[in-house]
Structure 1
Amino acid sequence: MTRTLNATAASLLGFLHEGPMTGWDLVATAQQRIGDFWSLTQSQVYRELTAMAEAGLVEAGDPGPRARRPYALTDAGREAFGEWLQGDVTEELIRFPLLLVVMFGEHVPPERLAEVITTHRHLHAQRLAMYEKELAEAPAGEPDPYAAATLDFGVRYERAVLEWFDALPTKLRGAND
């Protein structure tokens, strides 16, 4: 059965290349490794695992502790993942809820808009500091070039977002900036 993979399913197959994992393990791995740029919910993971098992891309093992069932990648899953990697990369879509609030800022009390902007600027500054700490603590020698490239994007993205915050008109940021 041929199944067109979406990016969520493909990410799960990518993680399963490392060995069998339960849905719980996959959620935790995704949150740790891609959570800053790709969101997965527990329900999405289990829905995708069920669909991929039906399509023969993964194989469910025997339930373990707490009835958690490990899933293993099949040859068909490896092939589907390889085909997904060779396919067209879809154009990214920015989903930044703060931009909706700013877009409709004329309908938001000025002090509330300033509060939201200040809060989000702080969150992005924290994330940048976390990424920079990860870079500084990276082991010497040959780093994983794929993880390093992803982390570099995160640093550059957060710097760009902070620059955008700093360039916002005073009217949007409020007087207490």
Structure 2
Amino acid sequence: MLGFLHTGEASGYELLAIAEEVVGAFWTVTRSQVYRELAALSKRGLVMPGDAGPRARVRYHITDAGRDAFAEWIALPPGPEQIRYPLLLTMAFGGHLDRACLLSYVDQHRTVHQTRLRTYQARLESTGIDAYERATIAFGIRYEDAVLAWMDDLPAILGPADEPPAEERDPATREGSG
């Protein structure tokens, strides 16, 4: 939240919208998390709440201590990425699913990734984004391209469509064996 407040005051609602737009595709931010974090940052003196505005929304601004805390945090080396892609988890156990069902899940995800790719491409062409946001969007484009290419390659990777489910191939997984 401190990073987003560098550009000016914002309510929790506005911060959530900004976070979803800027980092939402690769970093999950929930409404409850935003308000919980704002309360904690306020308690530590890193942000200050202002007067309630329209719809009783409180706008927050970053304090000097908040700027210092952000500067310390951003200077730390980032940790390793953590991929949590539910489709990959399903794919890992895909041998236990009907192939048509599995591929329908892939098609549903393909639509999402195509939409994100178009969104990123349009944003990259817009004016008013700095080099750092441009670099982040460029990563998003390459990521979506890679996921879509992987989806295109799946028929060859998965092999023949007539292969039986894992339960039928592996006698050890059958009920009553073992």
Same fold, TM exceeding 0.5?
A: yes
Aligned to 1:146: 132
Aligned to 1:3: none
Q: How many corresponding residue pairs?
A: 161
Shift of 1:60: 1.0
Shift of 1:155: 0.8
1:75 aligns with 2:64: yes
1:162 aligns with 2:148: yes
Q: Let me know the Cα RMSD of the aligned residues.
A: 2.0
CA contact 1:131–1:151 (8 Å) conserved in 2: yes
SS across alignment from 1:56: coil
SS across alignment from 1:59: strand
Distance 2:31 2:39 in 1: 12
Shift of 1:143: 5.6
Distance 2:105 2:30 in 1: 25
Output the TM-score relative to the length of structure 2. Answer: 0.83
Check 1:172–1:125 CA distance in 2 against 1; reply closer, same or farther (3 A cut): farther
Aligned to 1:34: 23
Output the TM-score relative to the length of structure 1. Answer: 0.84
Distance 1:72 1:134 in 2: 27
Correspondence for 2:93 among 104, 109, 114: 104
| Equivalence map 1:1-177=2 (5 Å) | 12-135=1-124, 137-139=125-127, 144-170=130-156, 172=158
Distance 1:31 1:143 in 2: 16
Shift of 1:170: 5.0
Shift of 1:174: 9.1
Check 1:170–1:160 CA distance in 2 against 1; reply closer, same or farther (3 A cut): same
Distance 1:33 1:60 in 2: 23
**Identical-pair percentage:** 49
CA contact 1:113–1:173 (8 Å) conserved in 2: no
What's the CA shift string for 1:109-157, capped at 9, x where partnerless?
222111001111122122212222333x333xx9621111111101111
Distance 1:133 1:61 in 2: 35
Pick the structure with greater CA Rg: 2
Distance 1:143 1:57 in 2: 27
Unaligned runs of 5+ in 2: 162-178
Unaligned runs of 5+ in 1: 1-11
